[in-house]
């Protein structure tokens, strides 16, 4: 691929969730003339959620997609150049850093902010996608509140699944937890807390067959993978907690990442192992994964980039 079509920019932002857009707002106000490429899911994970009630400043709540439109318009009003397109290759071996867009053009940038986010892992069922946002969710902390005093199901066996089951147990009348094997991956402490919580019922060796309901979740059909016995459990919501995957494959071998692929940033900063390349939002945060915390790190990345670019000009 020739680098014949190249454009030079001061600050490039890859990704468009709360982290990317917040970085764009700050970078534009600092006159870094940021160019932001939205990636394959403009607005990120929030565009597949419905009501967001935990983001400060929206007293009556807001729909996830609408909130991302608000973020985008604010970034545009500040002067950010927001574009449709996806980063397909990077070359961070020397400055200016090079990022290929849509396998056809190269952008050269003095600083790069990575906000490519993460994607929830799904079981891969038709009914799961069809009812997503109508009782099917990958975020108990986001959506558990809507099912107060109702029966809900959760699938997963790690620490996150246990945490979310415990969170739901405080809101919902009963939590049905489906675990595929005869044991959990979660730490002993988390397992013990789940097992002694009266309104959490753990189903061992259990696979989800189908989520049932026309326009909303009404039942879930599960199968015991030892006896092959099928059971229909009436629930109003189905939470998938089988993990997230950071969208970081583009940076393999280039940026430091942990064993799960989350980008590693220096403590107290958003800087990666390459000076002038910053990471914010869910691509580097596997702990909190909230819109508000992602936006916070987007702000940090823009401030870090501003300091770095200011020092370059001296």
Among candidate residues 11, 110, 143, 304, the one labeled active-site is: 143
- Residue pair 20/281 in contact (Cβ under 8 Å)? The answer is yes
Q: What is the distance between the alpha carbons of residues 194 and 73, in angstroms, rounded to a whole number?
A: 43
Among candidate residues 11, 110, 139, 285, the one labeled active-site is: 139
Q: Which residues pair with 113 in a beta bridge?
A: 13, 278
Does residue 11 carry a catalytic annotation?
no
Q: What is the distance between the alpha carbons of residues 260 and 289, in angstroms, rounded to a whole number?
A: 15
DSSP 15-82: --SHHHHHHHHHHHHTT--EEEE--SSTTGGGGG--EE-SSTT-TT-EEHHHHHHHHHHHHHHTT-EE
Among candidate residues 11, 110, 142, 304, the one labeled active-site is: 142
Say whether 312 sits in a helix, a strand or coil: helix
Does residue 172 carry a catalytic annotation?
no
> Quick one: angle between helices 18-29 and 291-313, nearest 10?
40
Is residue 176 within a helix (H) or strand (E), and if so which, with residue range?
strand 174-178
- Residue pair 279/258 in contact (Cβ under 8 Å)? The answer is no
Residues annotated as catalytic are: 139, 142-143
């Amino acid at each position: 691929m020739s680098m014949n079509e190249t454009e030079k920019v001061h600050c490039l932002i890859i990704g468009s969730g709360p982290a990317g857009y917040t970085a764009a707002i700050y970078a534009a106000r600092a006159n870094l003339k940021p160019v932001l490429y939205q990636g394959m899911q403009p607005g990120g994970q929030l565009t597949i959620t419905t009501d967001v009630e935990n983001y400060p400043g929206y007293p009556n709540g807001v729909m996830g997609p609408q909130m991302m439109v608000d973020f985008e318009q604010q970034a545009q009003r500040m002067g950010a150049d927001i574009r449709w397109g996806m980063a397909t290759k990077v070359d961070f071996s020397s400055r200016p850093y090079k990022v290929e867009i849509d396998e056809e053009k190269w952008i050269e940038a003095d600083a790069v902010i990575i906000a490519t986010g993460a994607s929830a892992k799904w079981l891969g069922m038709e009914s799961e996608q069809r009812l997503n946002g109508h009782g099917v969710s990958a975020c108990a902390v986001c959506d558990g509140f809507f099912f107060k005093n109702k029966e809900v199901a959760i699938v997963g066996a790690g620490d996150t699944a246990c945490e979310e089951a415990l969170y739901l147990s405080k809101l919902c009348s009963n939590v049905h937890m489906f675990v595929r094997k005869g044991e959990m991956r979660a730490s002993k402490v988390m397992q013990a807390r789940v097992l002694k919580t009266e309104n959490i019922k753990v189903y061992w060796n259990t696979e989800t067959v189908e989520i049932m309901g026309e326009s909303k979740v009404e039942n879930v059909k599960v199968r015991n993978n030892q006896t092959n016995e099928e059971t229909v459990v009436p629930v109003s919501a189905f939470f998938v907690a089988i993990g997230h995957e950071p969208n970081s494959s583009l940076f393999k071998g280039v940026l430091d990442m942990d064993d799960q692929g989350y980008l590693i940033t220096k403590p107290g900063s958003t800087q990666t192992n390459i000076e002038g390349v910053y990471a914010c939002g869910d691509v580097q945060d596997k702990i909190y994964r909230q819109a508000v915390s992602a936006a916070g790190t987007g702000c940090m990345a823009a401030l870090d980039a501003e300091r770095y670019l200011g020092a370059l000009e001296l």
